[in-house]
A = this chain, B = another copy of it.
C-alpha cells in the first residue's frame, strides 16, 4: 500500500517535502513541455504548504498575499486546471477543495482519508482496492475510466485525543 498518511500525520521537515514536490513538478513540466509559471508554482506551493485541502477562494486570498497583487478567480482556476492536468494535485469533490498529490506519475487510485475533526487529508494508493473496484466493474459490465474515493473519519491524532478525553 502506497501511502503518505505517516507523512501527513507526523512531524517532519515540511519545507523539504514542499521542495521535493516542486522539483518533481518541474521535472514533469520539462517532460511534458509545459511551463511552470510563478502563479502555478505559487499555487502548488500553497497546496503543499497546507496538508489540508484548500478551496479555490482560500487559494485566491493566499495567492494575493504571496504575490502581493490582486488575483481574480479565473487566474486561480487556470492554475488549478493546469496542475490537475499534470496530475500534480487532486480535487476532492466532497469538499470542493484541492490538495497536492504526493505521488504524481504513478498510476494510483486517489483514495483519500479525510479527518472530520482537523480537516487533514492523506492520500493512499491501495492496489487491492483498485483491483476489487475493477472486478466489481467488470462483473457489472461497467467500463471503468476514473474514480473518486473519499473516506471521512478521524485521523490517528484526532482519534487519540478523542479517546483520551473520554
Residues of A within 8 A of B (CB): 1, 3, 5, 93-94, 111, 113, 116, 122, 124, 126, 128-129, 132-133, 136-137, 139-156, 159
Do the beta carbons of B132 and A156 come within 8 Å of each other? no
Q: How many copies does the complex hold?
A: 2
Contact across chains for A142 and B5 when beta carbons are under 8 A apart: yes
Q: Which 3 A-B pairs have the closest CB atoms?
A: A143-B154, A141-B156, A145-B153
- What's the least CB distance linking A6 to chain B, in Å? 9
CB of A136, distance to nearest CB on chain B (Å):
5
Q: Report the nearest B residue to A115, measured CB to CB.
A: B142
* Residues from chain B with Cβ under 8 Å of A140 in the complex: 3, 5, 113, 122, 124, 156
Contact B142 A153 (CB under 8 A): yes
Tell me if A156 and B142 are in contact (CB < 8 A).
yes
Query: Chain B residues with Cβ under 8 A from A139's Cβ?
Result: 1
Q: Please, how many angstroms separate the alpha-carbon atoms of A153 and B148 in the complex?
A: 12
Complexed CA–CA distance, A111 and B146 (Å)? 13
Cross-interface CB contact of A93 among B133, B141, B150, cutoff 8 Å = B150
Q: Are A146 and B141 in touch, CB under 8 angstroms?
A: no
Are B148 and A154 in contact, with the CB atoms below 8 A?
Answer: no
